[in-house]
């Protein structure tokens, strides 16, 4: 009881002091980090419900009631909750609110540059990447992070699933293909901009090897832009086993920690090998 009275007295003293504002800001900072996952899962929910494509298909800002009637799989008892989901996504910058109707008497939802990258028909769509990164297979290891720090496993993924990620992908082809599609979708926009803005980096190269190149999205783009450059996609054997090269692109299986095919340049875009 004495300890409780002492703790209560301490709280009163802290609130009464000049640093009360700073403490409230600190608490808000903690809360923001605690609940930041809501943004990710709300975005995933919007993709699964087909909201970005529905707004795009409508052709103009769509009201909440119009959006509800356009989502065929929305349960009637859940329609009242859609406003809350859209409010989060507007706050996050994925949708905007614009005036609509004959005399601009209504408000409707419109796409932003960010949500346009989530459209199925967008050649630079990052939806496969989003769905992969937020899949339970890849999010579960984060719940094992503290356990991983206390064991001898190489990665948190190994701690959660009993084997390294690349081995898991080799056993489960669906997950492997899912991840490869994700990496390809993530690479398209970056590669297009990189080739356009950094041509001098690639000009004059006779050969290039893309380490961890997956299905070859990046290498194919480089090969098309620079037909005199021989491009090698280098990845684990099970990743490239069924892929066929063409023109100045070829596929080679192997382990980057053992050896990498020789070339004038080595491309390393993003490597998760030691971080999952």
Query: How many of the other CB atoms lie within 10 Å of CB of 94?
Result: 24
Could you tell me the pLDDT band of residue 150, with boundaries at 50, 70 and 90? very high
In a domain, 227, yes or no: yes
**Percentage above 90 pLDDT, the chain:** 63
Tell me how far apart the alpha carbons of residues 120 and 28 are, in angstroms, rounded to a whole number.
36
In a domain, 273, yes or no: no
Contact 56, 111 (CB under 8 A): yes
Could you tell me the pLDDT band of residue 274, with boundaries at 50, 70 and 90? very low
The reported pLDDT for the residue numbered 4 is: 53
In a domain, 196, yes or no: yes
Helices vs. strands in the chain: H and E counts, helices first: 16, 6
Tell me how far apart the alpha carbons of residues 36 and 227 are, in angstroms, rounded to a whole number.
45
Long-range contacts, 141-144 (Cβ 8 Å, 24+): 141/276
Same-domain pairing of 149 and 216? yes
Q: Is the pLDDT of residue 244 over 50?
A: yes
Same-domain pairing of 145 and 212? yes
**pLDDT, averaged across the chain:** 89
Taking the CA atoms of 104, 108, 113 and 116 in sequence, report the sign of the dihedral they define: negative
Work out the average pLDDT over 14-23: 72
Q: What is the pLDDT of residues 39-85, one digit of tens each?
A: 999 999 999 999 999 999 999 999 999 999 999 999 999 999 999 99
Domain extent at residue 40: 17-117
In a domain, 9, yes or no: no
CATH code of 73's domain: 1.10.10.10
Same-domain pairing of 135 and 195? yes
Same-domain pairing of 101 and 131? no
Domain boundary among 56, 82, 117: 117
Same-domain pairing of 182 and 227? yes
**Percentage above 70 pLDDT, the chain:** 91
Same-domain pairing of 88 and 39? yes
Contact 167, 175 (CB under 8 A): no
The reported pLDDT for the residue numbered 182 is: 85
Q: Is the pLDDT of residue 273 over 50?
A: no
Work out the average pLDDT over 128-132: 93
């Amino acid at each position: 009881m004495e300890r409780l009275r002492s703790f209560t007295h301490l709280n009163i003293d802290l609130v009464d002091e000049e640093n009360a504002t700073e403490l409230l800001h600190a608490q808000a900072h903690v809360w923001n980090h605690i609940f930041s996952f809501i943004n990710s899962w709300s975005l995933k929910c919007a993709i699964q419900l087909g909201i970005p494509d529905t707004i795009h298909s409508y052709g103009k800002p769509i009201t909440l009631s119009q959006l509800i009637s356009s989502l065929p799989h929305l349960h009637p008892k859940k329609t009242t909750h859609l406003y809350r989901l859209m409010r989060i996504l507007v706050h996050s910058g994925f949708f905007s609110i614009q005036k609509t109707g004959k005399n601009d008497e209504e408000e409707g939802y419109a796409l932003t540059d960010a949500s346009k990258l989530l459209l199925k028909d967008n050649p630079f769509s990052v939806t496969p990447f989003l769905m992969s990164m937020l899949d339970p297979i890849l999010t579960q290891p984060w719940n094992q992070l503290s356990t991983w720090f206390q064991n001898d496993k190489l990665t948190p993924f190994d701690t959660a699933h009993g084997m390294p990620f690349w081995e898991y992908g080799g056993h489960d082809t669906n997950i492997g293909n899912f991840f490869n599609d994700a990496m390809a979708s993530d690479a398209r926009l970056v590669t297009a901009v990189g080739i356009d803005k950094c041509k001098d980096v690639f000009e004059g190269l006779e050969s290039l090897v893309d380490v961890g190149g997956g299905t070859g999205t990046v290498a194919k783009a480089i090969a098309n832009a620079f037909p005199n450059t021989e491009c090698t996609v280098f990845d684990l054997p099970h990743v490239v086993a069924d892929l066929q090269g063409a023109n100045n692109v070829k596929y080679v299986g192997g382990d980057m920690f053992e050896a990498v095919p020789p070339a004038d340049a080595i491309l390393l875009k993003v490597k998760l090998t030691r971080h999952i």
